[in-house]
Structure 1
Amino acid sequence: MTTRNAFFALIPALMAVPAAAQTQSEVSEFTLDNGMQVLVREDHRAPVVVSQVWYRVGSSYEGRGQTGISHLFEHMMFKGTEAVPEGRFSEIISREGGRENAFTGRDFTAYFEVLAADRLPIALELEADRMANLQITEDALSTEREVVLEERRLRSEDRPEGRFGERYAAVANVTNGYAHPIIGWADDVRGMQVDQLEGWYEQWYNPANATLVVAGDVDPEAVHALAREHFGSIPARAVPAVSDAERLDPPGERRLVYRDTQARVPQLRLGYNVPSFATAESENDPYALLMLANLLDGGEGARLPQSVVRDSDVAAAAGAGYNPMVRLDGEFTLYGVPGDGDVEAVEAALREQVQRLKDEPVQAEELERARSQLLADHLFELDSVFYQAMQLGMLETTGAGWQQLGEFEARIQSLTAEDVQAAAQRFLRAEQLTVGVMLPDDEEA
């Protein structure tokens, strides 16, 4: 995601809608003749609509020599068309009282508008225009290339955590596109040319490779008609086949020790290669992994804050996380910051907590507390119309299918202690682990 696209900074404002989310709202699905998918989720609590166009392309689709092109192209999509010159898109949305922006991920690039519900046709007309008629010029590329390089300097090159994160990802994802940063490697971005961007536009910015997600105070049939009106005449093109390298299973434990002269405190990261919604053999596996992450780091009473931070003082901070909404395999992550610089002690404490999950079935009371926390977080997030659209778009573009949104509660409710322990035993194995350590430059490894 970009500094221009300070997406997370917008979320509090975008979530400022009345409470009592309609979590059981139906999703209507349509497909235009040119292959464009349309998903509509009704939410009539406020006269607001969220429109998002998702393209199935992100940094994991890139090879060396073109890393960062998805993100750079996101910038270029705001450079204008013949009908809507540069700057006019944002002016029109602002004039109508709305917000607009975009974001790039590893598996998708998405563009959104938040408007009064009766202004939806304006958003669709503008998005259809730049899907079909974007102007890509050398002057525009020269400007945005420098913007991206400066963004990269601020976020990655000038920060120890950024430098460490890029190196860790390259070690943890040796066989796929998650190895390189979304923003790209500097030499690739610096060498990007107009013909490369034109080719990227021709390949991926295609109605057959796009999903329109609309959520809010709308009628599904009316949205379908508007989508046909604005996007229906854009010709479909063949979508390129994606060739992902086969993973090494199991890849074997890997270890990175990175020393940085600007790092002030050591940091530790343990990442297990695990399945996502899209790659799991069993539909329950990702939900069990979500439960494991919540047991470790679901609030102040979870195991890591309680045992590793407060009770033992081994770590100043510790946590865990897992995101199943990725196209390829995901990562189950634990991290820690030593309280006294003893990285080995923190690593031992984190490994001990993993082993405990494998050796001991979680007690009923703790399982129910984690289950309640997961469901509460999920329902709170669905209180946002914007988040509802985000969930549909991410699930669909990563290959999980938007239907997963409606299955979440039932899947979490059905998990047993045996399911959770079995997932820990199956996936949290040393053969699937990458360990990353960042040390101040004068520290011993």
Structure 2
Amino acid sequence: MRSNLLRISLLFLLFVQLSWAADKNLSDTHEFLLKNGLKLIVREDHRAPTVAHMVWYRAGSMDETNGRTGVAHVLEHMMFKGTDKVKAGEFSRLVAAVGGRENAFTSRDYTAYFQQVEKSKLEEVIKLEADRMSNLNFDDAEFLKEIQVVMEERRLRTEDNPSSLLNESLMATAFMSSPYRHPVVGWMNDLQNMSASDARDWYRSWYKPNNATVVIAGDVNAQQVLASVEKYYGAVATKDLPVRKPQIEPPQRGAKQVQVKAPADSAQLTMAWKAPRLEPGKLDEPDPYALELLTAVLDGYDNARLNRSLVKQEKVVNDVGVGYDMISRGPALFVISTTLAKGKTVDQVQASIRKAIDEIKQKGILESELKRIKVRILSEQIYKRDSIFGQAMEIGGTEMAGFSWRDIDYILERMQSITPEQVQAVAKKYLVDDHLTIAVLDPQARKSGAEGGKP
């Protein structure tokens, strides 16, 4: 009885804290739309004299065409190669000079750039970022140097990494039509044949204010931020964007399997099922929330079901992970990834995974088990909002998937209403062989230094 009362009290406390945070976020968050189509979202948080400035372009690898995969990521690199006013390499130096940090990242859904600076330096980074939104200017020589950097990045992170190779083959096998089948870094042949004009065309097509969202979080005044953003970003001309084709993934009609042979110490098994994602305008659909909670049931804490059964009890794997992207622009997969223990076979591991899933399908999950997971999700959300940068990331990622920052708290609230029966139902409905793609890493002996060294 005492432990139940403690759990209920903790849950109530977290709900109170979240409700306070939600009300505060709504009152301290401001959204503006500039005349040129740029969206500005300002989150005021005055706990520390710092600010995160981010610009998100709704253009990622899913917007690429065959033969030009990787160009979104390549352009991310080229954005640091200068404008008419700022020489190549100067952007990062100027941000560092005002005590800031900066970087960029590309995903399937978007490309984003950020700086985190002391609040009095905000206008300086706004000016720099707005300048390269419209005035990027790099020569062919800079491109030729940087494309070599990207190709080396692919070699190191993918071609020399068996886990990355396996994931790349999994995605290319699971999807037939969706551009999610292509790696964000691009296929090597496409990188080898990419030209500076490909990167410039990508920039001219997508890097426009009407395809961008600026997110600024920190110790700021929203109206003052708006004035600075209008001064610099507002001067950038709008432009028609390319037509985006739906590229809807056709229904899968049976299980798929792919094997990858690569130098590695251990075999790996990944099982991925097609699953629905949360869609804008359909926030009350229960299945995506139930799938998100199912990932936590299987792998959300140290003694979650797969870790307990596969790692601790049966000792068939060294590690196991479960992933599912509920919010994205493209189709979703529910993924279970494992690294096999020495002497264990893929068939043994697959049988153990299926046994754990079948137990949920047949017996369901406990109410107490789900409550524990919901408390963990709430607490993680509250801790995340202690970070100014984390708040900006959450807003930007949500907006890029087609949702509003206003939906964030409702999504979390909706997840709290999911029942054990709904979690059991999605396991039965989606974790079936007709939706399944299996990827197996067959480990090969590593070459000796004499045999495998680069010429």
Give the alignment's TM-score, normalised by structure 1: 0.91
Aligned to 2:410: 407
Match of 1:438 among 428, 435, 441: 441
Say whether residues 1:101 and 2:103 are aligned partners.
yes
Contact 1:22/1:43, CA 8 A, preserved across alignment: no
User: Offset at 1:93?
Assistant: 0.9
CA contact (8 A) 2:175 2:249 kept: no
- Equivalent residue for 2:400? 397
Q: Give the Å deviation of 1:22.
A: 4.8
For residues 118 and 35 of structure 1, the distance between their equivalents in structure 2, rounded to whole angstroms, comes to 27
Alignment RMSD: 1.7
1:276 and 2:281 correspond: no
Instruction: Tell me by how many angstroms 1:251 deviates.
Output: 4.1
Q: 1:123 to 1:75 in 2, by over 3 A?
A: same
In 2, Cα distance between the equivalents of 1:344 and 1:279? 39
Displacement of 1:358 in angstroms is: 2.1
How far residue 400 of structure 1 moved from its aligned partner, in angstroms, is 3.0
Q: In terms of mean alpha carbon deviation, does 21-30 or 125-134 score higher? A: 21-30
Q: Is the 8 A contact 1:68 1:183 kept in 2?
A: yes
Superposition deviation, residue 361 in structure 1: 2.5
Q: In structure 2, what is the Cα distance between the partners aligned to 1:165 and 1:280?
A: 31
1:145 shift after superposition: 0.5
Residue aligning to 1:182: 184
Is 2:201 the partner of 1:199?
A: yes
Per-residue CA deviations over 1:15-39 (Å, capped at 9, x if unaligned) read xxxxxx9554222111000000111
Q: Deviations over 1:322-380 (max 9, x none)?
A: 12231011111112222223111111111122222222221111111111122222222
Task: Name the SS for the 1:328 alignment partner.
Answer: coil
Q: Within 5 A, what are the aligned runs for 1:242-261?
A: 242-260=244-262
176-185 or 270-279: bigger deviation? 270-279
Is residue 291–residue 374 contact of structure 1 (8 Å, CA) maintained in 2?
no
Alpha-carbon distance between aligned partners in 1 of 2:396 and 2:430, rounded to the nearest angstrom: 27
Specify the code of the residue in structure 1 equivalent to 2:304: A
Which residue is equivalent to 2:378? 375
Q: Is 2:147 the counterpart of 1:140?
A: no
CA distance in 2, matches of 1:129, 1:193: 24
CA deviation after TM superposition for structure 1 residue 432, in Å? 1.2
The 3-state SS of whatever aligns with 1:232 is: helix
Structure 1 match to 2:421: 418
**How many angstroms apart in 1 are the aligned matches of 2:335 and 2:164?**
17
Fraction of identical pairs, as percent: 38
Offset from partner CA, 1:32-89 (integer Å, 9 cap, x none): 0000011111111101100000000111111221000000000000001111111221
Counterparts of 2:377 and 2:192, CA distance in 1: 43
CA distance in 1, matches of 2:170, 2:115: 34
Correspondence for 1:44 among 20, 43, 46? 46
- What count of residue pairs does the alignment treat as equivalent? 421
Distance between the aligned counterparts of 2:247 and 2:141, measured in 1?
36
Matched with 1:297 is: 299
TM-score of the aligned structures, taking structure 2 as reference length = 0.89
Stretches of structure 1 that go unaligned for 5 or more consecutive residues are 1-20
Give the distance between the partners of 1:222 and 1:357, measured in 2 at CA: 53
Instruction: Note the alpha carbon deviations across 1:419-440, whole angstroms, 9 max, x for none.
Output: 2122222222221111111112
CA 1:169–1:250: 2 relative to 1, 3 Å: closer
Structure 2 residue corresponding to 1:237, chosen from 236, 239, 249 = 239
Q: Structure 2: any 5+ residue segments left out of the alignment?
A: 1-19, 446-455
- Structure 1: how far apart are the matches of 2:278 and 2:220? 29
Return the alpha-carbon distance in structure 1 between the equivalents of residues 258 and 77 of structure 2.
33
The answer to whether the 8 A contact 1:279-1:327 is kept is no
User: Using the alignment, how far apart are the partners of 1:285 and 1:93 within structure 2?
Assistant: 44
| 1:280, distance to aligned residue in structure 2 (A) | 9.1
Query: Which amino acid in the other structure matches residue 372 of structure 1?
Result: V
- Give the conservation status (yes or no) of the 8 Å contact 1:280–1:286: no
Q: Match of 2:354?
A: 351
Q: Distance in 1 between matches of 2:355 and 2:211?
A: 45
Q: What amino acid sits opposite 1:365 in the alignment?
A: S
2:66 aligns with 64
Larger CA deviation: 274-283 vs 70-79: 274-283
